[in-house]
Structure 1
Amino acid sequence: MKSGTSCWKSFANPGSWMARRLRTILVVIPAHNEERYILDCLEAVDRSKLNLQAVCPGIAVHTMVVLDTCTDSTAQRASDFAATHPGYFAHHVNFGNVGATRAFGIAQGLNRLPGPHGTSETWIACTDADTRVPENWLKEFAVAYLGGADAVTGTVEPDRVELAPQLYRQWRERYVLAPHHPHIHGANLGVSATAYLQVGGFKTLAAHEDVELVARLRRRGYRVVATDQLHAVTSGRLEGRLKSGFADYLSALAGETGTCADNSLDTIRAG
């Protein structure tokens, strides 16, 4: 186990470790009727938390699940998980708006930070309730922040179990999976709490709140790092929980290319 100064040195670039400290990572997960995916999402976050704390146990991880107008069993499943996993918190809201939901979760998490330097030593990690983050997710965010990044944009791919093989190939041909990629996904996005607050946080937008936040960060001169080293798996469904989201993109791609939109398991296996 590493702790104290040795932990910062193990993460940061030479010469940078004295300039930044990381005490807390705040994970925020908006959820609206995601009973099918929520436990897989939370278990993936927990694996990432354990992976980080095996290297640097001094970094606290708080996870805010924000349950927005849920009418299925999502809230119960998230609450049950939080009851048996320290550091997880379930909040109920009725915004019907992903931008407001993300902002609320971050505000709740920041309010928990102790001491006068809490915000300046905190990283915000955003994902979605239908997404499974990689095991190295939080550790790589820590590496990026301590190396000088103010925000990090990762990549995603649709779950191949849910998506017809032909449609997956069509998606893959168009998606840039490489360093310095152009993609911005709220399902795989990190930002320092200081930078987030300085630019005004997530706005109350029904879609593209992630893109709009990153645009403001860049306009203000913050260092935004795009990486393919953080690669998450998200739902391959063609009907999503919000308009203009990833599911709508897949659905439009299916229509554009003439791909069969039936993504049932039987159809996929037959393909």
Structure 2
Amino acid sequence: MIGIVIPACNEEQYLEKCLHHIRLAIQALPTLSQEVRVLVVLDSCNDQSLEIVQNAGVEYLQCNFGCVGKARDLGVRHLIDSGATWIACTDADTWVDTQWLLQQINHQPADAICGVVEVDSWQNFSILTRKNYLAHYQDVMNHPHIHGANLSFSSNAYLQTGGFEALCCHEDVDLIQRMLKLNLKIIWSNLVRVKTSSRLNARAPEGFSSFLHQLEIASSPIK
């Protein structure tokens, strides 16, 4: 069984679209493919995220961690206990590619797969910020990037490394670094793709949105 884990903290603006694209990725799998279970971990939500998940008929857990590392770990371990052998992680403000799951299957055998992200829109940023970002980001096979919004792994590899730590940011990087120390097989693929929001109000203090915001500041001309 494949398990998909989506942490969410007040994501009513994006969550419905996220779940729609997850459904499209599941529908793109071969008819005789294995079961896929989707789990949203609602962490400290006080908006309409719960109602959106319920209306979508998607499984969910609720917690009040205020910590993405703990929320991801809760969801991953719940699905592993339910029989999942492969876990795919994304974020609630992210829209997976239709081939997202299929490409993960095509990359097997693997202990983990690090995919790439695209920014959904550059309208909030300057032309120079976009240019600097694209110069930095390597959208190629064997890229060096790690994103919790596009990270998947086997249940065995997750348990072997001890899982996501209780970190409020960089929990994804921490997990992969521990996998590397164990010489696990990690595939760095630009065929496993997602688009993520370009919002400026970051949930994680040093996450992707914060990175874009800091890049915008650095790209602004000094007055």
Q: Which residue among 81, 86, 89 is the counterpart of 1:126? A: 89
- Report the number of matched residues: 220
Q: Say which SS state the counterpart of residue 53 (structure 2) adopts.
A: helix
Separation in structure 1 between the aligned mates of residue 172 and residue 32 of structure 2, nearest angstrom? 30
For 1:62, the equivalent position in structure 2 comes to: 37
Q: Which runs of 5+ in 1 are unaligned?
A: 1-23, 83-87, 114-118, 260-271
Q: Which residue among 179, 187, 192 is the counterpart of 2:141? A: 179
Separation in structure 2 between the aligned mates of residue 162 and residue 65 of structure 1, nearest angstrom? 29
* 1:12-161 aligned within 5 A: 24-52=1-29, 55-82=30-57, 88-113=58-83, 122-145=85-108, 148-160=109-121
Q: Which residue among 193, 196, 201 is the counterpart of 1:239? A: 201
Displacement of 1:161? 5.8
Please give the TM-score of this superposition, normalised by the length of structure 1.
0.78
CA contact (8 A) 1:159 1:234 kept: yes
Separation in structure 2 between the aligned mates of residue 70 and residue 253 of structure 1, nearest angstrom? 29
Displacement of 1:107? 1.4
Separation in structure 2 between the aligned mates of residue 57 and residue 168 of structure 1, nearest angstrom? 42
Separation in structure 1 between the aligned mates of residue 16 and residue 154 of structure 2, nearest angstrom? 26
CA contact (8 A) 1:41 1:131 kept: yes
Q: Say which SS state the counterpart of residue 194 (structure 1) adopts.
A: helix
Distance of aligned partners of 1:90 and 1:162 in 2 relative to their CA distance in 1, 3 Å threshold: farther
Distance of aligned partners of 1:194 and 1:133 in 2 relative to their CA distance in 1, 3 Å threshold: same
- Poorly superposed stretches of 4+, deviation over 4 Å: none
Separation in structure 2 between the aligned mates of residue 57 and residue 206 of structure 1, nearest angstrom? 38
Q: Say which SS state the counterpart of residue 187 (structure 1) adopts.
A: helix
- Aligned-pair identity (%): 36
Separation in structure 2 between the aligned mates of residue 158 and residue 168 of structure 1, nearest angstrom? 10
Q: Are 1:192 and 2:154 an aligned pair?
A: yes
Separation in structure 2 between the aligned mates of residue 222 and residue 30 of structure 1, nearest angstrom? 25
Separation in structure 2 between the aligned mates of residue 30 and residue 97 of structure 1, nearest angstrom? 10
RMSD: 1.4
Displacement of 1:100? 0.3
Please say which structure displays the higher CA radius of gyration.
1
Please give the TM-score of this superposition, normalised by the length of structure 2.
0.94
The one of the two structures with greater contact order (alpha-carbon pairs below 8 A, sep at least 6) is 2
